[in-house]
Structure 1
Amino acid sequence: MRYGEEFLGVECGVARHLNEVDWAATSLGPVDGWSLSLKAVIRTALSSRQPMSFWWGEDLLQFHNDSYAPMLGNRVNHSIGRPFREVWPDVWDAVYPFIQMALSGKGTWQENMPLVMRRNGYDEQTYWTFSYSPLYDDDGRIAGLLNTVTETTQAVADRKALEEAYRDAQKHLVERAGYEDELRLLNRELAHRMKNTLSMVQAIVSQSLRNATSLTDASAIIAARIQTLAKAQDVLTGMSVTAAEISAITNAALAPHQDGADRIHLDGPRVYLSAQQALGLSLAVHELATNATKYGALSVPQGRVDITWSHHLGDDFTFDWRESRGPHVLQPTRRGFGSRLTERIVSDLFKGQAKIDFAPDGVVFSLVGKLHQVADLDH
C-alpha cells in the first residue's frame, strides 16, 4: 500500500484511489458538497486499523480503509466509488438481507458466515465475521451502512483441522485401548499356556522316569515326548494364539513316522481345537504312532493307519485311530504312561471318554467328547 497522499486530511494508502474517482459524475457529487456526516465517517474509517468499509447514498457507493483493501483481491483498484452490487456481485444475494436490516435501522452481527467469492479469478470458500450498522446523514436520516469486518477463513480452517486432529486422536486412543486389551489377553493366554505346558512336561518327566527300564531309555522317551509338545506349540503359534486346526496338529505329531509310502490316511472336517486340547491330542497321536512304528501297523510295509474325526451339532466331537494289515496284536500285560496319557488325560481334556482297544487285527483308539467353545478358547 503506497502512502504519501491524503484524502480529507487523512494520509492513507487508499487516498490515491479516492482522489482518482470523478465524484462529480456520481450520485454523491463533488467532494466539496458532501455532508459533514459523510466526511466524518470517511475520516473515522480511514484512520482506523480495523478492516472497515461502508456504503453511502442511494447507489450505496463503496468506501474502505487500508486494512480492508487486502480482502478485495483483484478488485482493489476498481472498487472505491462504485455501487456495492457492482463491487460484490458474487455475494450480493447472500448479504442483501443484512443490508436491508441495516438500512432499516437495525444493526446486524454475523460470525464465521460462509461466502463463496471470486475475488482472485476463481471461486473460493471464505468465512467472515462482520457487523452492518446504519449510518446517518446531517438530518438524522439513514444514508448508508458501515461494515466492520474480520475475515476468518484461516481461523475456520484451523478450527476444522484441530477438530479433525481431535477426532483422530480420540480414534487412536480407542484403538490403543483395544490394542492394550488384546495385549492383556495375549499375556493371559501365554501365561495360561505356559502353566499348562509346564504341568504336562512335569507329568511326562515324572511318569516316563517311573516307567522306564533305564536312564537312557527314559531320556529318549522324554525327549521324544517333549519334542512332540514343541511341535504342537509351533503349530499353535503359527496359526493362532488360542486355537489350532486339527489336521495341522495331527500331521505335526505324525511327521517323524511318515515314510513316504502313503500308509497313514486322515479324513475329517476342518475343526479348531483349543490350545490345551491340541497339546493333549498331539501327545496322544505321538504315543499311538510310536507304538505303531515299534509294534503295530507301521512296523511292516503293508500296514495302514486310518485317522478319522467328526464334529456334530453343538460341540460333540469324535476322533478315531484304526490300524490294519499289521502284525497280530497281543493284549499288553502292563499299561504304561503312554496308554494312560492317551486314555485318561485326553478324555479329561475333551470331557468325554477315550479308550484303546488292542484288537487282534489292529489297535483302535476311540475318543468321544466335547470341543471347547470358541468363546472359551482364550481361557
Structure 2
Amino acid sequence: MIDPDAWPAGDCDAARAIRAHDWAATALGPLDTWPEALKGAVGTILHAPIPMAIVWGEDSIQICNDAFDEKIGGDGRACVGRPASEVWADVWPTVAADVARVRAGESAVEREDVRLARRSGERTEETWWRCSFSSVPDARAPNGVGGVLFVAVEISDRVRAREDADRTGARLRALVENLPHLVWQSRDEGRWTWASAQWIEATGLSYEASLDLGWLAAVHPEDRERVREAWAEAGRTGRLEVSHRLLLADGRTRWFQTRAHASTPCAGGEREWVGSSSDIDEMRRLQDQQKLLLGELQHRVRNMLAIVRSIARRTGETAQDAADFGSHFEGRLNAFARTQAHVARDPRAGLDLEYLVAEELTACAAREGARVTIGGPKVQIKSKAAETLTLAIHELATNSVKFGALAGETGAVAVVWDVEREADPPLLRLTWRETGIAPDPRRPAREGFGTELLRRTLPYELDAAVRYEIGAESVLCEIVMPLNRRTLA
C-alpha cells in the first residue's frame, strides 16, 4: 500500500520510480530536501499526457513522466535519476547547447526535428520531435534558474511525409530534367512562375528573365501575337495548344508545339498551369516536304498524261494502220516509262546521260560492241529534260534498227558527247552518227513523229539546236543544248 504522506503522490510508474530511487546518492539529495520549485515542477509533469522531463542542477539529473519514459525512453534503463547526458546520449551534444542557453538566462528555446532512436527490445525506430526548453526558477540557484523543463512533441509522421514529398519532388525533378521537352509552370494569361533547366539552356534566357511574360522574348516576333491569342482562348477552355517558333541560344530558329492544362484555382482564384514546349521542327519540315512532294506528284501526273496524249496523237497522225500505231505507241510509251521508273527512285538526282543512251539502245535490240560505240563525260540530266531526250534517243535507235545502220550486217552506230565548258552556260554537244547503211526501199519518205520530235520538240523543250541529216548510207544527228537550271541536275 502506498503511504498517503509519501511524495510524490500517485500510482503512476514515474511517481513510484521517484519514491523508490536513492536520491541521497545523487547531487539532488533526499526528497525531503528538494526545493519547492523542483517539487512543483515535478508535480506538474507527472500526470501530463505528453513527454515531459525536468533537467535539474549542474549534473543535469533527469526526472520524467510516464509518457517520456514510454515514448522516448533511452538505453532501456529507467530515465529517472540519471544524468540527461546518459539518457539522451545520441542527441545530448545537440540539445546541451539549448539547455545551457536556458540556464544562462533565456526564458525558452525551441528546436525542430530532433532525431531520436526509440528502442523497444531488439527493435530500434527512428523518431523525430519538436523540443522546447524553458527555465524552472529557483532563487537559490545561479542566475535564479534551478533547472530546465523539457517538453517533447512527436512529429515523426510529419517529417516522414515531408521526406516522402521531398523524395517524390526529387523524382519529379529528375524526370523533368531528363525529358526532351521544355517544361514550365504558369498562372493565368501565361504569366510564368517557373521554368525548367531545359528551357534556360535552349533559349539562353535566365530563370529570372523568363518569369511572368519575359519568356515571350524567346518567341519569334512574327508568332508572339498568335501565342497571346492562344493564351486568351486557353483562359476560356482551360487548355493551351499552339505551334510557334522559338529563338534559340545557338542562333537557330525552330518550331515548337506548346501545350498546357489548367489545374484547380489557387489562392486569389487564379489557376496554375503546367505546360511543355516540344521541338517539332523536323516534323514541320517533313510535312512541308510532303506538301511539296504531293504538289510535285500532281504536277508530274498532269505532265505525264499530257505527254502520253501527245505521243498518242502524234503517233496516230503518222501511223499507216492500227498495227503500226500499236507498235510505235508501245515502244515510245515504254521509253517514257523507263525514264519514269528511274526518276521515281530519286526525283532530284536526275538521269545519267550514258545510262539513258545505253538503256534505249539495249531496249531497241542494239548491243554496245563492235557495231555500237557510246562515250562521253559524266553528265546528269534533270528528270524533265531526260524525258524529252529519252524519246529522241528512242526514235533514233528505233529507226536505226528498222531502216538504218543496225538493220543490216555492215552498219555501225556511234553516240558520243562532250561539254563545252567555256560557253556560258556550258553546252552539251551530243552526236549520233550511223555509217554503213544499206539502201532500204521501205524507208519512209515523209517525216514522222521522230523527225518532228528532233526538229521541233527538242528546240522548244530544251532550247536545243538540232542538225538532222539522212543520207543514202549515213545518218547524222547533232544535238547542242545548254546545261542550265532546266536541263542539268
- The structural deviation recorded for 1:274 is 2.0
1:118 alignment partner in structure 2:
none
**Structure 2 equivalent of residue 285 of structure 1:** 393
Partner of 1:298: 406
How do residues 123-162 of structure 1 correspond to structure 2 at under 5 angstroms?
Answer: 153-162=170-179
Counterpart residue type for residue 251 of structure 1: A
> 283, 289, 312: which is aligned to 1:205?
312
User: How far does residue 236 in structure 1 lie from its aligned partner after superposition?
Assistant: 1.1
Q: Deviations over 1:313-359 (max 9, x none)?
A: 34422222111233258996311121111221122221121121113
Counterpart selection for 1:219 from 326, 348, 360:
326
* Match status 1:248 vs 2:352: no
Shift of 1:183: 1.1
Match of 2:482 in 1: 370
User: 2:361 touches 2:367 (CA, 8 Å); kept in 1?
Assistant: no
What CA distance in whole angstroms lies between the structure 2 residues aligned with 1:152 and 1:299?
Answer: 87
Give the distance between the partners of 2:459 and 2:70, measured in 1 at CA. 98
TM-score w.r.t. the length of structure 1 is: 0.61
**TM-score, length of structure 2 as denominator length:** 0.49
Given that residues 315 and 373 in structure 1 are in contact (C-alpha distance below 8 angstroms), is that contact kept between their aligned partners in structure 2? no
Cα distance between partner residues in 2 of 1:245 and 1:176: 32
1:8-67 deviation line (CA, Å, top 9, x unaligned):
67899888699853389748649876628696413x5469xxx9999x9xxxxxxx9645
Superposition deviation, residue 266 in structure 1:
1.9
Q: 1:25 to 1:154 in 2, by over 3 A?
A: closer
Residues 266 and 307 in structure 1, CA contact (< 8 A), matched pair in contact too: yes
Consecutive unaligned residues of structure 1, counting only runs of 5 or more, are 57-63, 73-148
Specify whether residues 27 and 194 from structure 1 end up closer, same or farther in structure 2 by C-alpha distance, changes over 3 A only: closer
Q: Which amino acid aligns with 1:285?
A: I
Question: Which one of the candidate residues 327, 338, 351 is aligned to 2:438?
Answer: 327
Higher helix share: 1
Partner amino acid, structure 2, of 1:317 = L
Partner of 2:137 in structure 1? none
Change in CA separation of 1:172 and 1:26 when aligned onto 2, cut-off 3 Å: closer
- The answer to whether the aligner puts 1:349 opposite 2:461 as a matched pair is yes
Q: 1:66-93: per-residue Cα shift (whole Å, max 9, x none)? A: 4557999xxxxxxxxxxxxxxxxxxxxx
* Secondary structure at the counterpart of residue 300 of structure 1: coil
Q: Which has the larger radius of gyration?
A: 2
Amino acid at match of 1:301: E
Query: Structure 1 residues 203 and 242 mapped into 2: Cα distance closer, same or farther (>3 Å)?
Result: farther
* CA distance in 1 between partners of 2:282 and 2:71 (Å): 55
Instruction: Note if contact 2:465-2:481 (Cα within 8 Å) is conserved in structure 1.
Output: yes
Question: What secondary structure, in the 3-state scheme, does the structure 2 residue paired with 1:240 have?
Answer: coil
Q: Distance in 2 between matches of 1:294 and 1:270?
A: 29
**Counterpart position of 2:102:** 35
Structure 1's 46 and 315: CA in aligned 2 closer, same or farther, altered over 3 A? same
Q: Aligned residue for 1:274?
A: 382
Find the aligned partners of 1:152 and 1:352 in 2 and give their Cα distance. Answer: 73
Question: Partner of 1:373: helix, strand, or coil?
Answer: coil
Larger CA deviation: 253-262 vs 316-325: 253-262
State whether residues 110 and 130 of structure 2, in contact with CA within 8 Å, keep that contact through their aligned partners in structure 1: no
Check 1:20–1:230 CA distance in 2 against 1; reply closer, same or farther (3 A cut). Answer: farther
| Residues 85-164 of structure 1: pairs in structure 2 closer than 5 A | 153-162=170-179, 164=181
* Residues 148-183 of structure 1, C-alpha deviations (whole Å, 9 max, x = no match): x99953343233134646679767511111111211
Distance 1:23 1:356, change over 3 A: closer
- The residue number in structure 2 matching 1:21 is 88
CA–CA distance in structure 2, aligned partners of residues 35 and 70 of structure 1: 31
In the other structure, the counterpart of 1:174 is 281
Q: Describe the shift of the 1:14–1:253 C-alpha distance in structure 2 as closer, same or farther (beyond 3 A).
A: farther
* SS at structure 2 position matched to 1:365: strand
Tell me the residue number matched to 1:132: none
Q: Secondary structure at the match of 2:280?
A: helix
Q: Helix, strand or coil: the match of 1:301?
A: coil
